[in-house]
Every structure is written in structure tokens, then in C-alpha cells.
Amino acid sequence: MGPRDAGTEGGLQAAAWLVDVLKHMHLSAGMDIFTNDTPSGSLVCRNVLAEIPAQEKTGDWIVLISHFDTKSGIPKFVGANDSGSSTGLLLEMARILGTSPLRHDNVLLGFVDGEECRIEYGPRDGLHGSRRLARQLVHESRHVQAVIVMDMIGKPNVKVTLPMNGSPALTQMILASARDLGVSEHFGLFDGGMLDDHQPFLDAGFPAVDLIDFSFGSAHGLNDYWHTPQDTMDKLSDASLTVVGRVVLDTLGRLDSR
């Protein structure tokens, strides 16, 4: 699909494609179009949202998030890992949950736009889609028991490092799922915080956690593929996507049984 920066024709095409794919899964999906003021002018963003009702009527929600926009200003940037990997995984989880919904918890799938900043992250730059959705959930008085954000989870031998600015109970639940599934080597703790799409939900008072591997490069510990034209499909691993998907689904089961 190519670059899909927020506010561009590529971003519009990506959002429309996501809606079409979700509707072909027979899910209720739509596009929330909104405009934010940024340091570089007005920005039109498009969140793609889909809901999967629980088998039994309930007012509880679990929110799954991936941003789908790409960083602007990078020639020929396709963002296979950032943000294609988590968006592809969230689509597969939509398919699975659409055919086998949770018993007690409704699921809201949020493909959010405008995560990437244009100049520097701040109140008016970056995280546009997640801020918008968090405000909507507050306005609608939804009872959200968990927000799980996925980002950059597709590299080979993925090592998800959960940042310190995440809800402790959710963080421990993710680690417990990884342990019980025998994939603990792919999950651990980050030694600091991370500014990502989970932060607006934390700010709004919702439990939230961020699943991210922020080491994406040509050698261990390097990040030299991040936000470069080297972020291409050949850098992704189906095994890594499977590991993260299994852990998230197991965590959903734990939340659903509480």
C-alpha cells in the first residue's frame, strides 16, 4: 500500500481498506473522521473502529489498539513493522474473535490514526487517534477493564518489553500468559516509560498496557531500521506475530473469566 501518513491520500486509502476488510469479516465497522490542530497546521485523521459483542450481554469492554499510520517525511517508507505488524495482527485477532467472541466482555478494536508526530510529541503533535478514542470512551461512560496496545511486534525473535508506565495488574497478566504458554523468553520489562498510544488511556483513567519491541535493527540492541526505508516486509516474522497473538488471546481469556 505504501506510505499512509495521517492526513494523506495513502492514509485515507488505508483506513478505507481496513473498513472493507472488517466488513468482509461481517463485523460492525466504521470510520471516525476528525480534525486536530498541530504545529504544522490542521490534520485530518481517521480512526477505524469495530465492535465484537460478548456472547452474554454485559457492559464491560476490552479495547485492542494498533496505529496504522506511518511516519511522514521518509521517502518510500512502508512501515512494515511500524505499524504494519500490529495492524496485521489486530486484523487476524478480529477474525478470530469475530467467530469466537468472548463470553462476558465486549471487544472494541481500534485502528488509530495519527500516532506518529510531525515534529515532536506533545499535546498537539502525535497520539491523535488514541487521544480521540480515549475521550470518546470517557464521554460514553464505557466500563473499560483493559486497553491493550500493540506496536512494532513483528521482527524475528521478538522481545516485547512492557514499559513501566503501564497498569501493573495488566503487565503481570501479560507476563503470566507468556509464562504459561512457554514463551517467556519473548516478554520482559522495559527499564523505563514509553510514550505510545497507551498513554492517553492511562491519562483518562483506564487500565492500559503497551506491547512493544523498540529494538528493531541489523544487530541485537540496535534500532537502525526504525523510521527508515529498511522497515520492509522481509524484516517480519510470522513466528513472532504468532507468539504475540497467542499471548494477547490468552490474556483476553483471563480477563474474560474474572
pLDDT, tens digit, for every residue of 214-248?
Answer: 999 999 889 999 999 999 999 999 999 999 999 99
Number of domains in the chain: 1
CATH number for the domain harbouring residue 149: 3.40.630.10
- 93 within 8 A of 248, measured Cβ to Cβ: yes
Mean pLDDT for 48-69 is 96
- 130 within 8 A of 191, measured Cβ to Cβ: no
- 250 within 8 A of 180, measured Cβ to Cβ: yes
Count CA atoms closer than 13 A to 69's CA, side-chain side.
Answer: 30
Please check whether residue 4 lies inside any domain of the structure: no
pLDDT at residue 102, as a whole number? 97
Please check whether residue 166 lies inside any domain of the structure: yes
Cα distance between residue 200 and residue 170, in whole Å: 16
- Model confidence at 57, in pLDDT bands (50, 70, 90)? confident
Closest CA to 246 of 26, 108, 92: 92
pLDDT at residue 113, as a whole number? 98
pLDDT at residue 145, as a whole number? 96
Please check whether residue 1 lies inside any domain of the structure: no
pLDDT at residue 46, as a whole number? 98
Count CA atoms closer than 13 A to 9's CA, side-chain side.
Answer: 0
Q: What are phi and psi of 181, to 5 degrees?
A: -90, 0
Please check whether residue 89 lies inside any domain of the structure: yes
pLDDT at residue 58, as a whole number? 87
- Model confidence at 1, in pLDDT bands (50, 70, 90)? confident
Please check whether residue 116 lies inside any domain of the structure: yes
Is the pLDDT score of 78 beyond 90? yes
Please check whether residue 77 lies inside any domain of the structure: yes
Q: For residue 24, give its domain range.
A: 9-256
- Amino acid making up residue 70: T
Mean pLDDT for 117-135 is 96
- 158 within 8 A of 211, measured Cβ to Cβ: no
Please check whether residue 14 lies inside any domain of the structure: yes
Mean pLDDT for 24-40 is 96
Count CA atoms closer than 13 A to 257's CA, side-chain side.
Answer: 7
Percent with pLDDT over 70 in the chain = 100
Is the pLDDT score of 116 beyond 90? yes
Mean pLDDT for 159-172 is 98
For the chain, what is the mean pLDDT? 97
Please check whether residue 3 lies inside any domain of the structure: no
